[in-house]
Structure 1
Amino acid sequence: MASSHSTLADEMAQTVFKIYEKCPKKCKPSTRSDGTKEWTNLAAVALYSERCGISCVSVATGVKVLPESRLKNMPQGKLLHDCHAEILALRGFNRFLINECIKMHDCPEYVSSIIMRNDSQRQQQQRPFRLAATWKIYLIVSEIPCGDASMEQLGAGTVEAWDTSSIKRDGKPLRGRGYFSEIGVIRTKPSRPDAPISMSKSCSDKLALKQFTSALQTPTTLLIEPVYLDGVVLPMHKFTYATMSRAFGKNGRLSTYREELLGSTGTYTFQPFCYMTYSLQFRDAKESLDSDPRAKKSKPSNVSLLWVKGQDPESIVNGLKIGGRISSSASRINMTRDAVRIVVDGSNQKYSDLKASVIDRQLIKKLGQNALGAWQSNVCDDFKL
């Protein structure tokens, strides 16, 4: 679906930017002692209905991902592996939904405008909750997602990075930067070739897979029926339909997906999102800081923000909250513990077993991974509850 610039997209972006402005200074990029300013990327999840308008439920910033070595030294679900803004905002969205489910579970009188209880008379495999049908889900971003959707933008003006003569065709994903002419392929974070190795997939790849597995993560899938992103809202001056449709559209790199397989995975399906554009500019974007030729070249910030509606903002560095070095509310361990106490006896259960128990999700996930290509799993971050 082609993009459309709309008043709604501008209103959503403006709502997100206002929330960001109100967040504490410690959650934002700073100016270093030598005068160098830091930049970051921003993303948010907003719900919209014609009756209720816009409800922003999560806002996040970040450009960092943890290397494999860090995950091996501290597993057990405590770390946020991927703090790129898009992925962190989606985790915040899941945290918000789990919070709503907890309120409804603990207090039968509580009425949520977002979540509804499922009829107990429905089929046995039904999740206990579902998203109210009036809401549409949008992911607002300040940058084109890293990976395949941003190849032409990143590669503009370069020569060496387009040269594929030295590429190793061993079936493994490419790093995020380099060999920009290799389009339609899976890439990993971090993007720089000199950065520590991670098998975390690019935001383009993860968002493409979300069109199969839904916007819900493993803990939330135990509670709520699958819900899909209706649209991604991007800066108008950075949007190119051709690259977005290649990265995410069913006629792009996902064209190997076979329509006849739809319906074979229970409640899951393939649901591509639309694109919308806004005209505003994020104040802490790299281009905003580097527009002044007299200023020093900006540097990426190590700090990530996670704001979830109804919670205090979190400042995150190296996968943990600043101050006490404790796990984020959106970490695997915290979200899983909260989810399982509603639906199952989680004592001594392993996270990997809970993932495997959602069989229809595992089937559609495999289908999506096959459509994308050379998908290799990250370090296993398993734990017992």
Structure 2
Amino acid sequence: MVNIDKVKKKSTSMSPIAVPDADRLAKICYQTFESISKTGKPILGKEWTVLSCIAKYEHHTKDLEVVSLGTGTRCIGRSLLSNQGDKLNDSHAEVMCRRGFLLYLYDEISKAMDPEENSIFSFNESKKKFEISSDISFHFMTTFAPCGDASIFDIESSRSEEVIEPSESKRSKLHEPRDEKSIDNTKTTNFTGAKLIYKNTEVPQDLMAQSIGDVRTKPGRGEPTLSISCSDKLAKWNVLGLQGALIYSLLDKPIYYSSITLCDHQHCDIEAAKRAIWKRFTNTKFSPEKPFTVNQPLIQMSRGKKFKYERNMDRDPAPGSIVWSKLKKCVHQVSVNGKLQGATKKSGGRLKISKIELFRCYFEILKKFNDKLNIFEGDVDFTSLRYCDAKSQSTEYQQVWKNLKRDYFKVWATKPSEINMFIIS
């Protein structure tokens, strides 16, 4: 029996927002994952992965469907970054899923300009912006605690089940580990393998210190990465929106998660997730200007059926990362080492969620609708438009991001500027 969907009040001035029940959401996410082809899926009984999904909820009909999903536990080292926008730096499930969601948004924006299509968006002629239907909200689910701040919590206060520390030989199977647990002399604590970032790199620091609220880079056993932890990325999206800078320039307001569902009560903690995603901003001077806000999604735990490919210390992490996005023609691709599985230089195949392909989606919308959108004034040579310059046009977004780094994050991994200077050739 499916529980009645919950109601969340964001503030006294807003109407209640319906939130799908955690078990219902998890069940639909698992069913969607099972329904897609086996390409890129872990070998059952031998490999594990993390699954993250974004589902669209229609309040009037209570219809719930997955529009994007991602799997994965890996990211690439700093020396492997590409200046062509054709490689994924970060292939963790949360990031794969969110990038698939960007594809979905671009598809819905294109449909909004076609009177023959149904879309979650409508175009406001006076604002020259796309508006999302008020009947729709988006909900996130993940089968493991996001790496970074959300993974630091006292297990004993989080649950009563006995915790068994894995042997070192089993730990070694986690080549690009998510967060792991550690036992000290007094209590059992879930800790993060993500590494702290410091401004003053000349001063020796404990990069593995389990301080809360600090920005970290992804965990890994090989070359250090410049990919920010999933906890920090979720916190960023919780202020700036899921849509990113490019899509925000097309919209009247950012898009936020209305709820976040965790699906492993042994390795997740609701209070730690709240702290990592939005409570960390309380008691700071940071206060974004509208339409941006510090979003407060309902964070809930599913205690229903477990993900059959859940992390198991006796198995190996799956080498590939899946992205699936619900478009007119659904996208299902696999990333290995940041590139499309099976692609060769001769074939020229690229991941649809790579920066350059997402930029191409934006590029196509500008070519068709710039006279209506009025993002760029005058004649624009789109063939020479750089990715970084297009992002800079989203001035409201960039100002809030600048303030967020200044007033709260303080530090953030800086990638070489060259990797954002590519164009659509």
Q: What range is the shorter-chain TM-score in?
A: 0.7 to 0.9
1:304-343 to 2 correspondences below 5 Å: 304-310=321-327, 311-325=330-344, 326-343=349-366
Deviations 1:105-157 (A, max 9, x none): 3x332222x22222x123xxx42x12211111111100110001102363431
1:196, distance to aligned residue in structure 2 (A): 0.9
- Aligned pairs, number: 346
1:167-206 to 2 correspondences below 5 Å: 171=200, 179-189=208-218, 191-192=219-220, 194-206=221-233
- 2:93 paired with 1:70: no
Q: CA, structure 1 residues 170+361, in 2 after alignment: closer, same or farther (shift >3 Å)? A: closer
Consecutive unaligned residues in structure 1, runs of 5 or more? 291-296
1:71-86 to 2 correspondences below 5 Å: 71=81, 74-86=82-94
- 2:106 paired with 1:101: no
- Taking structure 2 as the reference length, the TM-score comes to 0.75
CA distance in 2 between partners of 1:342 and 1:91 (Å): 18
Q: CA, structure 1 residues 96+314, in 2 after alignment: closer, same or farther (shift >3 Å)? A: same
Structure 2 counterpart of 1:42: 51
Give, as a single letter, the amino acid of the residue that structure 2 aligns with 1:130. Answer: E
CA distance in 1 between partners of 2:409 and 2:278 (Å): 12
- 2:262 paired with 1:234: yes
Deviations 1:170-198 (A, max 9, x none): 546xxxx9735322211101x13x42111
Give, as a single letter, the amino acid of the residue that structure 1 aligns with 2:255. Answer: V
- 2:131 paired with 1:133: no
Indicate which of 115, 126, 129 corresponds to 2:121.
115
Q: Judge conservation of contact 1:136–1:230 (CA < 8 Å) in 2.
A: yes
Q: CA, structure 1 residues 322+224, in 2 after alignment: closer, same or farther (shift >3 Å)? A: same
Q: CA, structure 1 residues 155+361, in 2 after alignment: closer, same or farther (shift >3 Å)? A: same
CA distance in 2 between partners of 1:121 and 1:93 (Å): 27
Indicate which of 306, 310, 316 corresponds to 1:285.
310
1:361, distance to aligned residue in structure 2 (A): 0.4
- 2:252 paired with 1:246: no
- 2:388 paired with 1:373: no
1:30, distance to aligned residue in structure 2 (A): 2.3
Q: Judge conservation of contact 1:257–1:367 (CA < 8 Å) in 2.
A: no
Give, as a single letter, the amino acid of the residue that structure 2 aligns with 1:324. Answer: A
CA distance in 1 between partners of 2:295 and 2:198 (Å): 31
Q: SS of 2:335's equivalent?
A: strand
Q: SS of 1:25's equivalent?
A: coil
- 2:97 paired with 1:89: yes
Consecutive unaligned residues in structure 2, runs of 5 or more? 1-7, 10-18, 156-179, 371-379
Q: Judge conservation of contact 2:197–2:216 (CA < 8 Å) in 1.
A: no
Q: SS of 2:69's equivalent?
A: strand
Structure 2 counterpart of 1:293: none
- 2:54 paired with 1:15: no
Deviations 1:39-75 (A, max 9, x none): 110000011122232021001100111111111xx32
Q: SS of 1:230's equivalent?
A: strand
Q: Judge conservation of contact 2:197–2:413 (CA < 8 Å) in 1.
A: no
Q: CA, structure 1 residues 78+139, in 2 after alignment: closer, same or farther (shift >3 Å)? A: same
Q: CA, structure 1 residues 355+170, in 2 after alignment: closer, same or farther (shift >3 Å)? A: closer
Q: CA, structure 1 residues 316+236, in 2 after alignment: closer, same or farther (shift >3 Å)? A: closer
Deviations 1:80-120 (A, max 9, x none): 22111011111111100101222333x332222x22222x1
Structure 2 counterpart of 1:359: 395
Q: SS of 1:305's equivalent?
A: strand
Structure 1 counterpart of 2:183: 157
Structure 2 counterpart of 1:294: none
- Taking structure 1 as the reference length, the TM-score comes to 0.82
1:299, distance to aligned residue in structure 2 (A): 1.3
Deviations 1:253-279 (A, max 9, x none): 3235426x442xx53232232202212
1:158, distance to aligned residue in structure 2 (A): 5.2
Give, as a single letter, the amino acid of the residue that structure 2 aligns with 1:10. Answer: D
Q: Judge conservation of contact 2:270–2:301 (CA < 8 Å) in 1.
A: no
Q: SS of 1:243's equivalent?
A: helix
Deviations 1:224-263 (A, max 9, x none): 331111111112624423322321233xx3235426x442
